[in-house]
Structure 1
Amino acid sequence: MDVLIVGGGLVGASLAIALERLDLRVGLLEATPPGALPAVFDERNLSFAEATVNALTALGVMQKLRAPTGAIARIHISRRGDFGRGLLEASRYGRDEFGRVVVARDFGEALEARLADATRLVRHRPMRFLGFAESGDDVRAVRVADADGERVLHARLVVAADGTRSAVRDALGIGVEEHDYEQTLFVTRVRGSRPPDGTAYERLTDHGPTALLPRGDRHYGLIHAVARDQADAVASLDEAAFLARAQETFGWRAGRFLSCGPRSTHPAIRVVARQAIAPRAVLVGNAAQTIHPIGAQGFNLGLRDALTLAELIADARTIDAGADCGSDTLLQRYAARRREDRERTIGFSDGLARLTANDAPLLRPLRSLGLFAVDRVASAQSFLVGGAMGYRGDVPALCREVRA
């Protein structure tokens, strides 16, 4: 085959849909059987930047969503114990919204519905990636296993879209730089005394952010970070005690928290691959970089990985219908195009996470000055707005398409 995508999660499935429009032999290797969704499609709340909404609309995915999404019309940023706040308004930039909030489970169902329309795509499921076998220079030989035992698949390009602890990345011998923020993130939905009004809140504390995202079902998506050594105690709290803790941390800007759904926990750990490409292989999404969720950039960044790769393959085949989609030239172009967006987004996320969680007294006036700049200085606002909307670096063409 031409392309084998290992991993059927958010980024892998999106890439499969993007490549399906080309005259390619594409395989999608998935660990879950037909009728089941990968574990990543749970109650987590995904913040889609405008560029992401544009691209997923062009790919026919947004149209498959059955549950309502929530518009992000403004972003409110504050830090507990610091003076000031930052407020970004979409209307100031000639837009109704910066993006949309989508529940991961709903997104998974929409991707599945769209994949069902991809008649040229071959889905290998359930199937596990085992490693690589000896092969020639023109293909990668991939060892896999399913219910019938082990076998070998051959592809001109292997795409690692198998998450933070990527088995493909390990098999390629690509190392990572890892940083543990010593935070645990509690994720749930919250019903408040006031329904969402399009405001996304980012409340920063010494132990990480507490964010509220406006969902489309009259609930907020809550992400509540706690110090790792407090995580077990917080996990043991009943609903009322957990809501009281979140309320005390966040404040009353969204009214009183009345109830919450099931809670899931996730460690805040940054894992960045030392390189994104290898001979006839490329890393995308969390396999290439898993970043702190502050600023909600993770999936948006990973989708731009996938769409850039699809665009480069399409461009190469426009010039030569038989172009090699796994050639070293194409992969070097991919790495060069992704460098600025990847480095700037990782740097922004990591810097913000470290700065805002540092309780050093000398940093408080600097942070307050920063919040003042966000609220009043046009250049500071423009920098944040461009990133929040997904327009950072060399953006794929699909991200810039005007939505219907």
Structure 2
Amino acid sequence: MPNASEAPPTSSLRTDTAAPACHDVLIVGGGLVGASLAIALDLVGGDAGLDVGLIEAAPPGSLPAVFDERNLSFAEATVNALAALGVMQKLHAPTGAIRRIHISRRGDFGRAVLEARDHGRDAFGQVVIARDFGDALEARLAELPRVTRYRPVRFVGLEPGEAGAFRAVRVADGGGERVLHARLLVAADGTRSQVREALGIASDSHDYGQTLFVTRLRSERAPDGTAYERLGEEGPTALLPRGDRHFGLVHGVAGADADAVAALDESAFLERVQQAFGWRVGRFLSCGRPSTYPAIRTVARHLTAPRAVLVGNAAQTVHPIGAQGFNLGLRDALTLAELIGSARAADPGADCGDAGLLAAHVRRREADREQTLAFSDGLARLTANDAALLRPLRSAGLFALDRLPSLQAAIVGGALGYRGQVPALCRAGSGA
């Protein structure tokens, strides 16, 4: 194991003399998962602290594009962890508690309703506006002087050669290119991860043939804590209870129809969504301008390379049905931070990029990752298939889910964010 004081190799490219010679951990991507990881690493670093670098494409005073008006569904485990990290306390907009989940499918008989109180909870989780979450992360990061932020800076590539004691990372800003060094490189740069590509890690993708329209929506009846998942052959139509008397809408359409739907005016768009969803919350009155996202599943074949690890959407991007994506990615980040913290507690000079530590991370993430991927993909494929033979099976499944506590318990555990070996921060204060 290399000594923490060992100097990194020199580089012929420009270096930033104000930056440390080498970071313990260098995170590429300042979005939801990357920023959360930086905060978690600062927490677990101990008195000596970890030397953490965060590469962000957005300049100071600006948020990454991912922090828009979309609605994020935080599972209980996620809420616990973000509260322990001091992020939930920084939110300004009211959150919306998810106290029940109502599941149905257009054209099928039956429905299932899961009540949080039946499982000893006040709520399954909270609905948070992405922009408000971005502001909260920014406010928390501003309190952490030990995190070195490079912004606006973009990842260019890796210096050639095998990783030894360090990873040499090429980045660029308005002044040109330079090289940063890190004992551990973390790819948190999203679905089309350039870091993943530079590491030579292949991925598998599946296009569900759906485009998701996301916005806020106001209806005759204000949210009452119910999250609705209305399934259909073109994708889900979900309403999430926000804290501002609006619903967060996710409306799936066939990819071939996306341009035509995007061209609809507000009245025609509301009419379309009303037909897909029904009248459970009364007439839809207004909505914001929707953003669109293709529903594509992308899964990396490996999570690690020498002195490098993938987290969040760089590791796996799932169909948004069931709201699993960020919750899963945060557990990636928290598991990594927990392992690094444990290693540093045992040995303050422990190498964050040690191969044994990365292997332990892969083992710890295996069950949660596989189960969540299987659940999300299976649900997306099953509910979108309009074959007549599947309709009675789906109806029977909804009937059983509504009435069998044992079946509900299996679903609820995932909805709360407790799959596999859960990071300790996810259980903080929950009694779970």
TM-score by length of 2: 0.93
2:212 matches 1:185: yes
Give the AA of the match of 1:84: G
Unaligned ranges ≥5, structure 2: 1-22
CA contact (8 A) 1:5 1:161 kept: yes
Give the AA of the match of 1:105: R
Q: 1:154-233 to 2 correspondence within 5 Å? A: 154-233=181-260
Whole-angstrom CA distance in 2 between matches of 1:318 and 1:121: 19
Whole-angstrom CA distance in 2 between matches of 1:255 and 1:386: 31
CA contact (8 A) 1:4 1:27 kept: yes
Q: 1:235-384 to 2 correspondence within 5 Å? A: 235-384=262-411
Unaligned ranges ≥5, structure 1: none
Mark the structure with the bigger radius of gyration. 2
Whole-angstrom CA distance in 2 between matches of 1:212 and 1:26: 38
- How much does 1:288 deviate? 0.3
Structure 1: 4+ residue segments shifted above 6 A:
none
2:40 matches 1:18: yes
1:263-287: CA deviations, max 9, x gaps? 1000000000001111000000000
- How much does 1:393 deviate? 0.6
Counterpart in the other structure of 1:117: 143
Counterpart in the other structure of 1:88: 114
Counterpart in the other structure of 2:168: 141
Whole-angstrom CA distance in 2 between matches of 1:165 and 1:300: 19
Please give the secondary structure, in 1, of the residue aligned with 2:313: helix
- How much does 1:319 deviate? 1.0
2:75 matches 1:49: yes
Counterpart in the other structure of 1:3: 25
Whole-angstrom CA distance in 1 between matches of 2:185 and 2:289: 36
- How much does 1:211 deviate? 0.2
1:300-341: CA deviations, max 9, x gaps? 000000000000000111111111110100000000000000
Counterpart in the other structure of 2:7: none
- How much does 1:298 deviate? 0.2
Whole-angstrom CA distance in 2 between matches of 1:263 and 1:206: 21
Give the AA of the match of 1:269: I
Counterpart in the other structure of 1:35: 61
Please give the secondary structure, in 1, of the residue aligned with 2:236: strand
Identity %, equivalent residues: 73
Of 105, 125, 134, the residue aligned with 1:79 is 105
CA contact (8 A) 1:57 1:403 kept: no
Please give the secondary structure, in 2, of the residue aligned with 1:391: coil
Counterpart in the other structure of 1:64: 90
Counterpart in the other structure of 1:105: 131
Whole-angstrom CA distance in 2 between matches of 1:399 and 1:307: 8
Quote the RMSD (CA, aligned, Å).
0.9
Give the AA of the match of 1:10: L
TM-score by length of 1: 0.99
- How much does 1:403 deviate? 5.9
1:51-82: CA deviations, max 9, x gaps? 00000000000000000000000000000010
Give the AA of the match of 2:226: T
Please give the secondary structure, in 2, of the residue aligned with 1:145: strand
Give the AA of the match of 2:426: C
Counterpart in the other structure of 1:128: 154
Give the AA of the match of 2:90: K
- How much does 1:128 deviate? 0.7
Whole-angstrom CA distance in 1 between matches of 2:415 and 2:312: 17
- How much does 1:374 deviate? 1.0
Give the AA of the match of 1:387: G
